[in-house]
A = this chain, B = another copy of it.
Amino acid sequence: MRIEIVCTGDEVLSGKIVNSNYAHICRRLEELGLEVVWGTTVGDDRKRLLEAFRLASGRADAVIVNGGLGPTVDDLSQEIAAEAAGVGLEIRQEWLTRMEAFFQRRGRPMSPNNRKQAMLPVGAELIDNPVGTACGFAVDIGKARFFFTPGVPRELFRMLDEQIIPRLQAMTGESGVNRLKRFHSYGIGESRADTLLADVIALAPDGSVKLGFQAHYPQLETKLAVRGASEDDIVRILGPVEAEVRKRLGSFVVAEDDATLEGEILEALAGRGGTVAVSELHTHGQIGGRLAACDGGRGIFRRGVIANDLGGIFAALDLRDHAGPLDQAAVEAAARGVMQVSGTDHGLAVLVAHGSDAGGGESDGTIFLAVASGDTTVSRAARIIGDEHRVRLGAVEMGLDCLRRHLHGLAFDERVDFEKSK
Contact = CB atoms under 8 A, between A and B. Distances in A.
Interface of A: 7, 13-20, 22-27, 30, 35-43, 45, 48, 52, 55, 105-108, 214, 282, 284-286, 288-290, 292-293, 295, 297, 299, 301-309, 312, 315-316, 341-343, 359-362
A133 to B, nearest CB: 13
A26 B20 contact: no
B304 A306 contact: yes
Contact of A20 (B14, B18, B43, B55): B18
A286 B286 CA distance: 8
Given A18-B23, A292-B285, A315-B343, A303 B299 contact: no
B36 A14 contact: yes
Given A18-B23, A308-B301, A48 B38 contact: yes
B303 A312 contact: yes
17 contacts: A15-B24, A15-B30, A18-B18, A37-B42, A38-B40, A38-B41, A38-B52, A107-B359, A107-B360, A288-B306, A299-B309, A303-B305, A303-B316, A304-B306, A304-B307, A315-B342, A315-B343
B105 A214 contact: no
Contacts of A105: 360-361
Given A305-B303, A342-B316, A26 B15 contact: yes
Judged by DSSP, the binding face of A is: mixed
Contacts of A7: 39
Given A15-B22, A15-B25, A26-B14, A292 B316 contact: no
B308 A316 contact: no
B36 A13 contact: yes
Contacts of A303: 305-308, 312, 316
A308 B160 CA distance: 37
B299 A308 contact: yes
A61 to B, nearest CB: 15
A379 B305 CA distance: 23
Contacts of A41: 22, 38-41
A306 B307 CA distance: 12
A214 B16 CA distance: 7
Nearest to A19: B19
Contact of A13 (B39, B106, B292, B309): B39
